């Protein structure tokens, strides 16, 4: 009886891990478009995928380090499923990165070639900030890709290297336009 219990426990543990892998696969499919509202669109989705992969990876590592658990035939199949899931998650992340690079375009610096402020057509005399907010989003997204250890294109790196300055200028222009518009009103 004791031997039977000793054999059943590892089998149940491996089955639970297999179910966790299947659940994660389904979550990856169901939540393909989901990302945290505080993260950028493409990198946020990649981060969500990476977290799901890290969850099953930590379980695998824990099982690999469990010296108390006897060998189970099911483990090879479960490890194979895990490896497939891990590969598909990384492929999806690379696909998201490729889509982002394509969306960024060949020359993101062109978004900087504009006046900092402009007059508001609807309200004569008032000013508005004319800095393209997409440029700040580009830098923010690039920071996530760097954190995910993926390379960013040179044309994006050039803009990203100026992120702090761009952010400072953006905030300064906003402050000037708000102050000016208050004085004019």
pLDDT tens per residue, range 109-138? 998 999 999 998 888 889 999 999 899 999
Confidence band, pLDDT 50/70/90 cuts, at residue 92: very high
Contact 179, 155 (CB under 8 A): no
Neighbours of 117 (CB within 10 A): 15
DSSP state of 70: P
The pLDDT of residue 52: 94
The verdict on 140 and 120 lying in the same domain is: yes
* Boundary of a domain, candidates 65, 89, 104: 104
* Boundary of a domain, candidates 40, 75, 104: 104
Q: What spatial distance separates the first Cα and last Cα of the chain, rounded to whole Å?
A: 87
The verdict on 154 and 117 lying in the same domain is: yes
CA distance 95 to 88: 10
The verdict on 129 and 98 lying in the same domain is: no
The verdict on 99 and 114 lying in the same domain is: no
Contact 91, 30 (CB under 8 A): no
The pLDDT of residue 1: 41
The pLDDT of residue 5: 52
The verdict on 94 and 158 lying in the same domain is: no
The pLDDT of residue 6: 57
| Domain of 113, in residue numbers | 108-184
CA distance 174 to 116: 10
**What's the pTM?**
0.84
């Amino acid at each position: 009886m004791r031997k039977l219990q000793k054999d059943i426990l590892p089998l149940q543990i491996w089955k639970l891990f297999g179910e966790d892998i299947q659940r994660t696969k389904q979550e990856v499919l169901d939540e393909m478009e989901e990302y945290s509202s505080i993260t950028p669109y493409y990198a946020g989705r990649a981060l969500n995928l990476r977290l799901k992969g890290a969850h099953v990876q930590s379980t695998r590592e824990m099982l690999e380090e469990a010296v108390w658990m006897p060998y189970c035939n099911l483990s090879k199949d479960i490890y194979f499923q895990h490896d497939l899931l891990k590969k598909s998650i990384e492929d999806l992340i690379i696909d998201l990165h490729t889509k982002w690079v394509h969306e960024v375009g060949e020359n993101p610096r062109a978004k900087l070639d504009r006046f900092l402020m402009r007059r508001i057509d609807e309200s004569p005399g008032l000013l508005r900030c004319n800095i393209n907010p997409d440029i700040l989003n580009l830098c923010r997204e690039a920071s996530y890709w760097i954190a995910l250890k993926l390379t960013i294109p040179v044309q994006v790196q050039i803009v990203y290297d100026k992120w702090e300055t761009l952010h400072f200028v953006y905030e300064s222009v906003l402050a000037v336009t708000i102050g000016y518009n208050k004085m004019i009103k």
